[in-house]
Amino acid sequence: MNKKKLLGICLIFLMVAFIFIQPAYAGPGGQIAKVLAKTFWGKMVLGLLSVILLPVGIYLYIKQQLAQRRAFKDLKYMAQYDPNFEWPRARERILDCFCRVHTAWKDEDVCDACEYMTDWYWQNQQLVYLDRWHREGLRNVCEVKKIRAVRPLLFIHRNDDVAHEGSLLVVSITANMKDYRVQRETDSVVEGDRKFRDHETIWSFTLVAGCWRVSNIEAAGCEFDYVFQVKNVPRIEETVLGLSNPLKTGNRPIDSASARDCAGSIDPI
C-alpha cells in the first residue's frame, strides 16, 4: 500500500474513533489542541498520534534527505559534462522561472513567459486555466515577497535525441507569497485570501534546447511521489555512456565560474 495512503488511513481512523468516543471540543481562539490535551481521551489520542506518527515522520524525513543528497550528487557529476547541471546555475534559473511565471500569471498572459516553460505546459495553462477563468469573470492574483527554500527532490538524466536533452529536475519551492482568485467586477475573493503566507509547491523542470524549462507545477503533498521514485533511477554513470569526455581546463574539470562563463550568464529577473 502507498505509504501516504497508509498514513492517511491511520489519521482518519484515530479522528473518527475520537469523535465517537467524546463530544466535539473547542476552545477560545480555536485552540482546540490545548483543550483536548486537558481531557483524558484527548491525552490518549495525542499520545497515540505521537507514537504512531513519529517513526513515520522520521522515516519520511530520512527518505527526503537521501533523495536530496542523491540529486545533488548526480547533478555534481553531470556538471562535468554540461554547466546547466551545476546546482548554483540551475538554482538561479529555477528562481528566474519561478518569478517570471508568477508575473505572467498575474498579467494573465503566460505567453510572456513562454521561453521559461515547455510548449505543452504554457499552452495548457493558458487554455485550461487563464482563458477559462477570464470567461468565468475570475482573475488570479499572485505576488511573491520572498523565496525561502529550493530543495531538489528528483533528478533524472536523459538523452532524448541529443545529449542531456529531456533531463528532468523536480524541486520543492517554498515562498512567502499571496495567491488568490477574485471576481473581476467586484474584486471579492472567491478562493484563498489576501494575506502573505508561506506556500510550498513542487516544480518540474525539463532541459529543452539547453535550458531548464518549467514542465509542471503541483501542490505540496505530492513530493513523496518523487522521493520514492529515486530508488528506480539508474546510476548516473550508466546514463552518460557514449557521451563525450567531461569539460576540462587542462587536466582538471572546469570550476563553476568557468562553466558559467562558457555557457553565458542567466538573464536577470
Q: What is the CATH number of the domain that holds 221?
A: 3.10.450.240
Instruction: Identify the weakest region by mean pLDDT among 172-176, 211-215, 265-269.
Output: 265-269
Residue 129 covered by a domain: yes
Residue 15 lies in a domain: no
Full residue range of the structural domain in which residue 218 is found: 59-263
- For residue 28, the model assigns a pLDDT of 39
* Residues 40-58: tens digit of each pLDDT: 666 666 677 777 777 888 8
Q: If you average pLDDT over each of 1-10, 64-73, 175-184, which comes out highest?
A: 64-73
Task: Read off the amino acid at residue 228.
Answer: F
Query: Would residue 78 count as lying in a domain?
Result: yes
User: Which residues are CB-contacts of 214 (< 8 A; sequence separation ≥ 6)?
Assistant: 97, 101, 116, 117, 118, 121, 203, 204, 205
**Residue 25 falls within a domain, yes or no?**
no
How many domains does the structure of the chain reveal?
Answer: 1
Of all residues in the chain, the percent with pLDDT exceeding 90 is: 41
pTM, to two decimals: 0.71
Euclidean distance between CA atoms 81 and 158, whole angstroms? 13
- Domain contains 246: yes
State the DSSP H helix or E strand holding residue 218, giving kind and residue range, or none if neither: strand 211-219
